[in-house]
Amino acid sequence: MELKAKGPTFIKVLLIEDIGVCRLVLSTILLKLHCEVTLAMNGKEVVDLFLAGKKFGIVLFDKNMPIMTGPEAIVKIRATG
């Protein structure tokens, strides 16, 4: 899911967080900082985004997530390119 700030956005941020309240708080802060935010709930979603060719200026990972953790996803992303 992509969220865009009102007005111009300055940077594309990928936010990976499985806890809804944390996702809401962090995305709200990022939107106020005029970021374009893409949300993911686990590491597998992130790997799929990178395999699809998506690019981000900043990636914020949660360490412990279901399906695939942040560190596992980083290893897989680095292995692809």
Q: What is the pLDDT along the chain (81 residues), one digit of tens a residue?
A: 777 767 777 899 999 998 999 999 999 999 999 999 999 999 899 999 999 999 999 999 888 888 888 888 889 888 986
Instruction: Identify the pLDDT of residue 13.
Output: 96
Instruction: Identify the pLDDT of residue 62.
Output: 83
Instruction: Identify the pLDDT of residue 77.
Output: 87
According to DSSP, the β-strands at 58-61 and 11-16 are: parallel
Instruction: Identify the pLDDT of residue 6.
Output: 72
